[in-house]
Structure 1
Amino acid sequence: MKLPVWFESIIQHRLDDVSARTIRHPEISKLHKEEYAAFQKLFSDMDIVNKPEFSEWEDKHHYKQALENEYLYRQGMKDGVQLVYAVLEMMLHDEQEQEE
């Protein structure tokens, strides 16, 4: 079943909104700054793989990514539950109208 264009547009808009809020989330923003500083320190020397700074940057990067993914997943679950609730409520309302 293909989703209507208007519905895909709403979902895309919601995804853009949640992604923007994720980037501005205080904890994620702090981690992004720490990751960026570690990244800058990492590339101050070309022999990066054997340096402890590489491990530091890699740890911060993976932690930040995991936190962003967790936030997006939780928000997606909340949005999904709200969507299911709204659709079920509309279906119940339609059924009640048909019975009258």
Structure 2
Amino acid sequence: MELPQWLQQAIQARLDEVSARIEHDPELNRVREEKDEAFEGLFAGKDIEQTPEYAEWESQYIVSKGIENERLYMQGLRDGIQLTVSLLGQSMFEETNAKADQTINANP
């Protein structure tokens, strides 16, 4: 089943918005700066992969990506729940109205 184009565009717009917000997050910026500083330390060593600086950079990189992925996941989860609740609420509202209409039409 393919999603309607308007829904795909809405999902993409939300992803772009959340990604931009995460990109400017102060905590994540701090982690990125630490990662970049650790990366710059890599060039002081000759055998890059065997240096403690490389291990530090790799550690900071993994932490940075982990935080980004966690925040994207959590925001997606919140958005999914909000969408589900909204759709269920609309569905229940329509069912209630349909039942009310049936009651009114059954009792002239």
Structure 2: runs of 5 or more not aligned? 102-108
Cα distance per residue 1:43-72 (max 9 Å; x no partner): 344420111100000010001111111111
Count the aligned residue pairs: 100
- Which deviations, in whole Å up to 9, do the C-alpha atoms of 1:21-80 show, x marking residues without a partner? 111111111001111111112134442011110000001000111111111111111111
Shift of 1:90: 0.8
Q: Which has the higher contact order (CA 8 A, sep 6+)?
A: 1
Q: Does 1:77 align with 2:63?
A: no
Q: Name the SS of the counterpart of 1:3 in structure 2.
A: coil
Provide the residue aligned with 1:57 in structure 2. Answer: 57
Which residue number in structure 1 is paired with residue 6 of structure 2?
Answer: 6
Whether the 8 Å CA contact 2:45–2:51 is kept in 1: the answer is: no
Check the 8 A contact 2:31/2:60 in 1, yes or no. yes
> Percent sequence identity over matched residues?
40
Distance 2:15 2:56 in 1: 31
Runs of 4 or more consecutive aligned structure 1 residues displaced over 2 Å after TM superposition:
43-46
TM-score, reference length from structure 2: 0.87
Structure 1 residue runs without a partner (length 5+)? none
Compute the RMSD of aligned alpha carbons.
1.1
Q: How does 1:41-52 map to 2 (within 5 A)?
A: 41-52=41-52
| Bigger radius of gyration among the two | 2
